[in-house]
């Protein structure tokens, strides 16, 4: 299980590996019609057929894996412009890289 101390910076590759493990564990027994390996370009909706309950489970798994409860997932799933795109694994990695490398409780201010 991953862990982030105050003096540790998680690199994107480490975040990606943790995220891929979570996604593979979640989807291993699904009949998702997606035979390719999960990668940075994999879309959560179109490729993995994630629905809202799977997104909730993904958030919980990410929080547990990285031991962070303060990640502002609402910014990712409910953007200010109202446009909700099908997220790619790379979008999650970028989001997690930004927020996991901030001390707990210090979120990014929406502008």
pTM of the model: 0.80
User: Could you tell me the pLDDT band of residue 3, with boundaries at 50, 70 and 90?
Assistant: very low
β partners of residue 83:
none
The answer to whether the CB of 72 falls within 8 A of the CB of 108 is yes
What are 8-40's pLDDT values in tens digits? 678 999 999 999 999 999 998 876 666 788 999
φ, ψ for residue 73, nearest 5 deg: -60, -25
Cα dihedral: 32, 93, 60, 69 (round 10): -170
pLDDT of residue 79: 72
Residue 56's Cα: distance from chain center in Å? 11
């Amino acid at each position: 299980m991953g862990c982030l101390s105050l003096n540790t910076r998680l690199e994107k590759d480490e975040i990606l590996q943790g995220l891929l493990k979570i996604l593979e564990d979640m989807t291993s027994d699904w009949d998702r019609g997606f035979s390719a390996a999960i990668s940075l370009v994999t879309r959560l909706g179109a490729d993995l057929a994630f629905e809202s309950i799977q997104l909730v489970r993904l958030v919980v798994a990410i929080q547990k894996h990285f031991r962070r409860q303060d990640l502002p997932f609402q910014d990712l799933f409910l953007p200010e412009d109202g446009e909700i795109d099908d997220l790619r694994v790379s979008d999650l990695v970028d989001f997690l890289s930004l927020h996991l490398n901030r001390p707990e409780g210090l979120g990014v201010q929406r502008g």
